[in-house]
Structure 1
Amino acid sequence: MAKLRPEQLEATLKQGLAPIYLVSGEEPLLIQEACDQIRAGARASGFAERELYHADAGFDWTQLLSAANSLSLFADKKILEVRLPTGKPGDKGSKVLQEYARDPSPDNLLLVVTGKLDRNVQKSKWVKALEGQGAHVQVWPVPPAQLPRWIGQRLKAAGLRADSTAIELLASRVEGNLLAAAQEIEKLKLLTSDSLISTELMASVVADSARYDVFGMVDKALHGDARSAAKSLQGLRVEGTEPLTLLWALARDIRALVQISQGTAQGIAFERAAQAAGVWTKRQPLIQTALRRLRPAQLQQLLRKANGVDKAIKGMRQADPWDELLDLTLNLAGVQSLQPANERLALKL
């Protein structure tokens, strides 16, 4: 069966169950729905019992083989579900999964649920073994450009219709949060007796479900997404976040950028310079993206601006801290909001 997209799963389940399913990805809603489909198909085929295992660092993988070989007291067939968030079972787990895949029992259905699997893991022996005996459902995030289409399909499945403006409104409100979009559609089903959702109705009932968090805002700025970063900043302001908290997060990464930039200029490898600046491996590509966009002189100016914002927050400068934070955030994202001469003048006020 090899690899499947989530939208292909329903049709393949109707053709018959595979003995093994591997579901991987980063989008919680789509992963949950794929697993629900598999479990429903299994129950319809007589798999009445389900045993759930969380494969954390201390997990004893021999439990899985023992469960596979033991007879159920309550049902003839059972689902063995393994949650593997890291996508890395280790040597013991890899051997157990390969051993299981060599001769899967028709009385068991193995469902392995993981986070995103990188290319190297997808080529690993345990993944190939599971794919060889079953199906690998790969769940990918819905790109922003395709979100309106996804919402339209979701509305149609719920028995609702909406014009393109209403769909665009919902897409802009949820900012890629598929679970929030699904919840809003369920709410619309309850609040309307008409299957047609107008723009006015969408605007009046849909809550702003965008996920605002301090570090997410800074990451958007580092990525160069000025519009999203500014929107997140406004959301945090509305939620009552303290300006000093936002400045701390911005200044922390600005200082790291300055330190790494100076280190690489001296011939130090980026990874080593990033590690010395306290940047985790997972965030290093984001920092590298920002460094490609921001020159050393711009980084020094950002550092001076952060100092100016600090003075504004503490009442030592006559300036609106929120305006200053927006300016700093936009500059970090690569948007020059003031002329350099005006910036120098502003920092002296």
Structure 2
Amino acid sequence: MRINPQQLPQSLKKGLAPVYIISGDEPLLVQECCDQVRKAAKKVGFDERELLHAEHNFDWGLLLASAGNMSLFAEKKLIEVRAPGGKPGDKGSKALQEFAALASQDLVLLLILPKLERSQLNSKWVKALEQEGVLVQIWPVPAQEMPRWINQRLSAAGLTAEPEAVKILAERVEGNLLAASQEIEKLKLLNKSDTTITVSLLEHSVTSSARYSVFDLIDRALASEADKAITTLQGLRSEGIEPPVVLWALAREIRSLLEIGEKLNQGQPLARLVRIQKRQPLIQSALSRLAPRQLETLLLRARAIDTAIKGGTGHQSPWTGLLELTLNLSGQRSV
């Protein structure tokens, strides 16, 4: 069964399914959906939870081994698999289809994937899992829908806001739902008198942490101004900006560079691909020094940072990874 995030709470109230696939590229919504599944599972006795990171060269046999390795002290088990690549390959496809046959009320799979393309949605492994459970498809919030989304979030936080204030906030976060959510939390702390959020209060909230911007970080990295980019990164950290916000901006830009580079090679003009004129030389500069293979490597590093942020195993802290990623995007080697 395929549902959207808004339908998930009602679906969970009807009972826990053996399989949940959470698919999408919006970190905030993905995290919230996963939290809902975990909470529902915990509520009905799933005290054991095992986390598997299905990175490149992952041994999919571990999934089936985990399914057969129930704890002596827990009768129910939640297996969480994070597969940032989204393509399990032949071995993974086979293992997931085998797991679909094993899934039961005492064994639940939570599979976290990026946005699935149509070919993936029609694959045997997705169909096998979907037949046993629930596929939650998460779509980006379009720019024109951001004010409505922000209003809903404000309402859920017990806040109301002037239409102009909502519009300003929507423009500021530029589609970043995680950044919008953090701004709303900040507004909740600032608005202690339980009054409507005005433009003045919003501007105070914005200026209190606007000395450094993730968008400044991106522009300086694209311009190969490594020192300025690192200073901006350190400023973001000191002002309490969360690593997922910075990673979102860097990963989005890397993906954009790959896409623009491919279309340039097909003969499409840069002016059509990058409509903001002042950004055109920045994009051109970055593409002149970063080959597609290098950009793909940077995306893999971004995925490793995402794993570190989510508590995965590894020796690097998220901020160290972000520092190296920023240097690499600036055309410099890692420290």
Matched residue type, 1:29: L
Which residue pairs with 1:291 in the alignment?
268
- SS of the aligned residue for 1:173 comes to helix
Q: Higher Cα Rg: structure 1 or 2?
A: 1
The DSSP-based 3-state class of the residue aligned with 1:161 is: coil
**1:177–1:211: 8 Å Cα contact kept in structure 2?**
no
1:90 and 1:326, CA in 2 relative to 1: closer, same or farther beyond 3 A? closer
Q: Counterpart of 2:47 in 1: which secondary structure?
A: strand
| 2:33 partner letter | A
| SS of match in other structure, 1:159 | coil
Q: Is the partner of 2:214 in helix, strand or coil?
A: coil
Note if 1:167 corresponds to 2:166. Answer: yes
Aligned to 2:214: 211
What amino acid maps onto 1:56 in structure 2?
E
The answer as to whether partners of 1:48 and 1:77 remain within 8 angstroms in 2 is yes
Q: Quote the offset at 1:70 in angstroms.
A: 2.1
Deviation at 1:201, TM superposition (A): 0.4
C-alpha displacement at 1:107, in angstroms? Answer: 1.1
Summarize the Cα distance change of 1:5–1:49 in structure 2 as closer, same or farther, 3 Å threshold: same
- 1:120 counterpart = 2:97: no
Instruction: Mark the CA change 1:77 to 1:15 in structure 2 (over 3 Å): closer, same or farther.
Output: same
| SS in structure 1 at match of 2:175 | coil
Query: Where does residue 94 of structure 2 map in the other structure?
Result: 95
| Alignment coverage as a number of residue pairs | 250
The answer for the alignment partner of 2:199 in structure 1 is 199
| Equivalent residues of 2:271, 2:280 under 8 A apart | no
Aligned residue in 2 for 1:149: 148
Deviation at 1:116, TM superposition (A): 1.4
Distance in 1, matches of 2:24 and 2:42, equals 24
1:11 deviation in Å? 0.8
| Residues in 2 aligned to 1:4 and 1:289: alpha-carbon distance in whole angstroms | 37
How far has the Cα of 1:192 moved from its partner?
1.3
Q: Which amino acid aligns with 1:188?
A: L
In 1, distance between residues paired with 2:260 and 2:205? 37
Q: Secondary structure at the match of 1:291?
A: coil
Q: Residue 35 of structure 1: CA displacement?
A: 0.3
What letter matches 1:52 in structure 2? L
Letter in 1 for 2:159: L
- Equivalent positions of 1:1-349 (< 5 A) are 2-193=1-192, 194-206=194-206, 207-208=209-210, 211-212=214-215, 240=228, 282-284=259-261, 286-287=263-264, 291=268, 326=278, 329=281
Q: For structure 1, which segment, 108-117 or 59-68, has the greater mean C-alpha deviation from structure 2 after superposition?
A: 59-68
Q: Do the aligned partners of 1:173 and 1:210 also contact (CA within 8 Å) in 2?
A: no
CA offsets 1:131-151 (integer angstroms, 9 cap, x no match): 110000011111111111110
Q: 1:114 to 1:180 in 2, by over 3 A?
A: same
Q: TM-score, normalised by structure 1?
A: 0.64
Contact persistence 1:175–1:210 (CA under 8 A) = no
C-alpha deviation, 1:103, in angstroms = 3.2
Distance 1:79 1:328, change over 3 A: closer
Q: Deviations over 1:278-317 (max 9, x none)?
A: x98644555379825769xxxxxxxxxxxxxxxxxxxxxx
Distance 1:60 1:81, change over 3 A: same
Inter-partner Cα distance in structure 1 for 2:38 and 2:32: 10
Counterparts of 1:327 and 1:142 in 2: how far apart (Å)?
24
Aligned partners of 1:177 and 1:210 also within 8 Å: no
Q: Deviation of residue 211 (structure 1)?
A: 3.2
| TM-score (structure 2 length as normaliser) | 0.67
Q: CA deviation at 1:8?
A: 0.8
Q: What is the alpha-carbon distance in structure 2 between the residues aligned to residue 10 and residue 210 of structure 1? A: 35
Q: What is the alpha-carbon distance in structure 2 between the residues aligned to residue 290 and residue 201 of structure 1?
A: 48
SS in 1 for 2:23: strand
Contact 2:218/2:229, CA 8 A, preserved across alignment = no
Deviations 1:144-164 (A, max 9, x none): 111111100000000100011
Percent same amino acid at aligned positions? Answer: 49
Aligned CA-pair RMSD? 3.2
Question: Residue type of the partner of 1:132?
Answer: Q
Stretch deviating more after TM superposition (120-129 or 73-82)? 73-82
Distance between the aligned counterparts of 1:188 and 1:289, measured in 2?
46
Distance 1:107 1:327, change over 3 A: closer
**Alpha-carbon separation, structure 2, partners of 1:33 and 1:93:** 26
